[in-house]
Structure 1
Amino acid sequence: MSSTAAAQKFDPARAGEYQAQSRIALAGYDACHELSACMLSATLGGEGAAHVLVVGAGGGAQEIVAASRLAPEWRFTAVDPSRPMMEIAVAEVARQGLAARTDFHLGYVDDLPADRRFSAATLIGVLHHQPGQEAKRQLLNAIASRLAPGAPLILAGNRYAYASQPLLLAAWGERWRMQGATAEEVRARLGKILEGADPPASEDAVAELLADAGFEPPTWFFSSLFWGACLARRIGDDAQGA
């Protein structure tokens, strides 16, 4: 499955149910976004100006909504390749009164000008949808090349191979059952998650991908079954020998 095919998974039907379904699939969905905003604000300081690249902003644009509460002068560039998901994000940003602070780009990070430099970036719920190691590396490299030296990246998503953690997978199914899913529906959802995503094999694998893209070792700050969130700073040009 290509990156384009991964984006096409988020068709109008899936986009429409994204917010509700995500809050079941990820226990602590809102807390993860709120803590991500807190980590960015703690790193950058919420009082000054900053320009944040939000990769995979489609859906509820929760990264933007949460960060705006702490940082009234921050601007955002939201990137997503799925039109249905982006339309939901645009509507939510407008509803929150944040449209004047947000630029939207329907497409990919690679489409942005190569000389753009952002103060920070977020990549939440995206990396495990990239098929294979090379696609993951390309995405992280594209983000890194558009960050200022020392700029933080918030990376959040599934970070274990599903088959390697059968207890977590079973608990994930129980999470759905707790929300009223039948046994048949749980089996269908487990089958879908096993076929529909390709997470890094471990936290060490995440750290290696980040290092390859020019980031410092990550600081992990949130965990929920397979899901984890971390912050990593882009290594300065001098440190990279560029």
Structure 2
Amino acid sequence: MTRPLFSGAFADTYETRIDRLVPGYRLAHELTLARLSVLLPEQATVLVAGAGTGTEILIQAGHRPGWRFVAVEPSPDMLAILKARVAEAGLGDRVEIVEGVVEDADAGLRADACIAHLVSHFIKGDADKLAFLRAIAARLAPGASLLHLDYLPERGTFDPAYRAWALLAGQTDSEAATMEKRIRGSWDAAEAARLAGLLRTAGFGEPQPFFRALDYHGLASRRS
């Protein structure tokens, strides 16, 4: 599977830039916590695929002291930041860290839920996207939910309102142009119907929305 690596300065500045790159980024995390709070018991294990610098874990763990986490991240530089943030928050005994992709996590894991935010549009091609989703499904308990935040442009086109929002969020003209060029040229963003088909093939039910901002969709998909 293609493994996008965020390294160097990109990793170091990720947390300071992400709010200007993804509309509703913080709200999406809050609603993820709200949805999982309804779905999960007080004691639960959450797989985090593409854990990045650990924002999902810090938000979830801070509000749910009985939850444990398996954090999977392929980028060593992002992982170093994640480890430092986990240690600073005193969460080392609740977070298992796996350097690599989901397939590198324990095959015997049966997590109660998975968070996979801002991952699938970086994975090239349906075969690798499906492998990613199947690896998650194999590590979830039956009936467990996958909560994922994905860029799903309608009709596969870039919405000019996204660029307008980026400028309002504080990006310069040059930064917004670079963002648009990267999305158009480097991402493999699926339309909603295409992703739903991949989820079904991987063993998940129909995705249910819990968040949307422009073409970013927060979806909850239950493992069969």
Determine whether 1:17 maps to 2:29: no
Distance in 1 between residues matched to 2:215 and 2:99, nearest whole Å: 29
Distance in 2 between residues matched to 1:98 and 1:184, nearest whole Å: 39
Q: What residue identity is the alignment partner of 1:164?
A: G
Q: What residue identity is the alignment partner of 2:2?
A: S
Determine whether 1:199 maps to 2:193: no
Superposition RMSD in Å = 1.6
Alignment of 1:121-136 (within 5 A): 121-136=114-129
Alignment of 1:1-242 (within 5 A): 3-4=2-3, 6-7=4-5, 10-45=6-41, 47=42, 49-59=43-53, 61-160=54-153, 164-166=156-158, 168=159, 170-201=160-191, 203-235=192-224
Distance in 2 between residues matched to 1:180 and 1:43, nearest whole Å: 36
* Runs of 5+ unmatched residues, structure 1: 236-242
Distance in 1 between residues matched to 2:175 and 2:19, nearest whole Å: 17
Q: 1:97 to 1:183 in 2, by over 3 A?
A: same
Deviation at 1:180, TM superposition (A): 4.0
Aligned to 1:240: none
Kindly provide the CA deviation profile for residues 182-219 of structure 1, in whole angstroms up to 9, marking residues without a partner as x: 43332222112212211112x22221111111011111
Distance in 2 between residues matched to 1:185 and 1:103, nearest whole Å: 35
What secondary structure, in the 3-state scheme, does the structure 1 residue paired with 2:116 have? strand
Distance in 1 between residues matched to 2:61 and 2:212, nearest whole Å: 23
